[in-house]
Amino acid sequence: MINVIENLEISELKDTKFIHPIKVTFNQNGKDKTWEAVRSHNSVAILLYHIEKKAFLLVKQFRVPIFLNDNSKTFTYELCAGLVDKDKSLEEIAQEEIDEECGYHVKIDDILKITSFYTNVGISGACQYLFFAKIDESMKIHDGGGINDEQIEVMFLPIEQGEEFIFDESKAKTPGLMFSFYWFFKNIEKLGVK
């Protein structure tokens, strides 16, 4: 995926759709404090393992905040993920994201919850729910890539490259991806992966 970023402008955020900047004042142990934070949605993220390819299915996409911190990083490597912003179960949202971003249909009962954790604890404190699912080519229904104006590229990472990938600092990736790889390798026998 080649990303060409042009005409970058930064302006103050006023009417927001997904995040809401706030200023919080409070007293902690007798001391007045102020904190700037962002209210945001919780999310789901899914580690997908392709049985036939013996590979993880990851998504690559352009992330403005990463680019603003390091303009050599024009995309990130991530798990399939999405916001918890509709009145559906976490598993149903995970199922939709697998379809939209990656192009595979996974049955709800085949989506295994790993754990949950908090992200961006100094800014938003949103909770991410981490899942795992196995996929194969019989489940493929389209090429993926996201919906609306999303520009998501799917890629396969062979499992033998997974541990090295975790520590490859040249690749922008999320802590959830790194943790899920760790979980996978720790539980590989229980998962019946060969």
pLDDT at position 145 is 85
Residue 81 known to bind ligand: yes
Within a domain: residue 83?
A: yes
Residue 100 known to bind ligand: no
Q: Distance between CA atoms of 100 and 138, rounded to whole angstroms?
A: 17
Within a domain: residue 25?
A: no
Residue with tokens 């019946």: 192
Within a domain: residue 126?
A: yes
pLDDT at position 10 is 63
How big, in percent rounded to 5, are the helix, strand and coil portions of the chain? 25, 35, 40
Within a domain: residue 24?
A: no
In the chain, the largest separation of any two C-alpha atoms, in whole Å, equals 61
Number of domains in the chain: 1
pLDDT in tens, 7-40: 767 666 677 877 788 888 888 888 888 888 888 8
Within a domain: residue 132?
A: yes
pLDDT at position 104 is 98
pLDDT at position 5 is 63
Low-confidence ranges of the chain (pLDDT < 50): none
Q: Distance between CA atoms of 184 and 18, rounded to whole angstroms?
A: 31
Cβ atoms of 188 and 51 closer than 8 Å = no
Q: Distance between CA atoms of 77 and 151, rounded to whole angstroms?
A: 13
Q: Report how far apart the first and last C-alpha atoms of the chain are (Å, whole number).
A: 30
Domain that holds residue 139: 40-186
pLDDT at position 3 is 65
Within a domain: residue 93?
A: yes
Residue 36 known to bind ligand: no
pLDDT at position 130 is 98
Q: Distance between CA atoms of 85 and 41, rounded to whole angstroms?
A: 7
Residue with tokens 């911190």: 69
Q: Distance between CA atoms of 123 and 168, rounded to whole angstroms?
A: 26
Within a domain: residue 130?
A: yes
| CB-based contacts of 39, cutoff 8 Å, min separation 6 | 19, 20, 22, 124
Residue 97 known to bind ligand: yes
Within a domain: residue 143?
A: yes
Provide the CATH number for the domain around residue 67: 3.90.79.10
pTM of the model: 0.89
